[in-house]
Amino acid sequence: MEVILYLSNGYPTLESSYQTAIEYADAGCRMMEIDFPSRNPYLEGEYIADRMAKALEVCDDYEKYMESMVRIKERLPEVHFLVLAYENTIEEIGTERFIKFCKENDFEDVLMVGLKDETIKNEIIASGLKVSCYVQFHMLPEEIESAKASNGFVYMQAKPNGNINPDYPTLKDCIQHLRDCGIERPIYCGVGVHAPEDVKMVKDAGGDAAFVGSTILKLHEDVPAMKEMIKRYKAQC
Q: What is the pLDDT of residues 114-126, one digit of tens each?
A: 999 999 999 999 9
CA distance 90 to 111: 11
**pLDDT value of residue 61:** 98
- Give residues with Cβ within 8 angstroms of 75, minimum separation 6: 18, 21, 22
- Give residues with Cβ within 8 angstroms of 113, minimum separation 6: 43, 84, 85, 86, 87
Across the range 98-119, mean pLDDT stands at 96
Across the range 101-122, mean pLDDT stands at 96
- Quick one: what percent of the chain has pLDDT higher than 70? 100
Instruction: Check: CB of residue 222 under 8 Å from CB of residue 192.
Output: no
CA distance 5 to 12: 17
Q: Return the H-helix or E-strand segment holding 186.
A: none
Q: What is the pLDDT of residues 179-208, one digit of tens each?
A: 999 999 999 999 999 999 999 999 999 999
For the chain, list the domains and their CATH numbers: 2-235 (3.20.20.70)
Across the range 139-149, mean pLDDT stands at 95
- Give residues with Cβ within 8 angstroms of 205, minimum separation 6: 170, 171, 172, 174, 175, 189
pTM of the predicted structure, to 2 decimals: 0.96
**Cβ-count burial 19-37 (b if 16+ within 10 Å, e if not):** ebbeebbebebbbbbbbbb
User: Considering the chain, what is the average pLDDT of its residues?
Assistant: 97
